[in-house]
Amino acid sequence: MTENGPEFPLDELRRAAGEDRTARARIDALGRELDSGSPMRASIDTHVAELRKHPSLAALIANWFDDPRTQAFIDELTGTGL
């Protein structure tokens, strides 16, 4: 997602998740979705909502997801930014 928005903080999120396998799996799933040829907004929104529930991840994911560049990228997925 580097060309259209801020870099997804995969490594930072994984470090913050520590040994929480559920959170790490969710982070990895979100990373795969973003790297897919056609990421789906609903899937991204679901992953982000679940990651926001983890206190150790909430600020990191919010800083990335709420960034206007990320939001512009997400809006383009559904054409809402056009």
- pLDDT tens track for 34-50: 998 889 999 999 999 99
Are 63 and 53 a contacting pair, CB within 8 Å? Answer: no
Whole-model pTM: value is: 0.87
Q: How far apart are CA 15 and CA 5, in angstroms?
A: 22
Identify whether 70 is part of a domain: yes
Residue 38 vs residue 22, higher pLDDT: 22
Q: Is residue 3 part of a domain?
A: no
C-beta separation of 48 from 64 below 8 A: no
Which residue segment(s) compose the domain that 38 sits in? Answer: 10-78
Domain membership flag for residue 72:
yes
Please tell me the total count of domains within the chain.
Answer: 1
Q: How far apart are CA 48 and CA 31, in angstroms?
A: 11
pLDDT in tens, 65-82: 999 999 998 888 777 544
Q: Is residue 65 a part of any domain in this protein?
A: yes
